[in-house]
Amino acid sequence: QVQLVESGGGLVQAGGSLRLSCSASGIIFSISTLGWYRQAPGKQRELVAVVGGGGSTNYADSVKGRFTISRDDAKNTVYLQMNSLKSEDTAVYYCNARPSYRRQEYWGQGTQVTVSS
């Protein structure tokens, strides 16, 4: 059974920082593409950042230079360091895993990030 468990969300003032974590089980973590997505009220879910098995990364334009995605394959954990947070970053953040050996993708339950201005 695949499980993705996010943590680290919360309430922060604009300009502050948070680090999200997502621990995975039930997949071969090292050969999975991992990503963070977010969904604000009334909006569609959007990609925030993704990291491939080889460590290559890609970011949404809106977070470039402020957010950093990283992975620790020994801990089966992916992180999202969020700096210089803005009110528009307020959303539920979801962890996503796409194993290279399966067509199926997996989602965590989401963690709320609220940035007060």
User: What is the residue-wise DSSP string for 62-101?
Assistant: GGTTTEEEEEETTTTEEEEEE-S--GGG-EEEEEEEEETT
Helix, strand or coil for residue 48?
A: strand
| Residues 38-47 pLDDT 10s | 999 999 999 9
Side-chain half-sphere of 101: how many Cα atoms within 13 Å?
6
The residue among 7, 1, 12 whose CA lies nearest residue 77 is 7
Residue in the block written with tokens 């399966």: 102
pLDDT of the chain, 117 residues: tens digit per residue: 999 999 999 999 999 999 999 999 999 988 899 999 999 999 999 999 999 998 999 999 999 999 999 999 999 999 999 999 999 999 999 999 999 998 999 999 999 999 998
End-to-end CA distance of the chain: 40
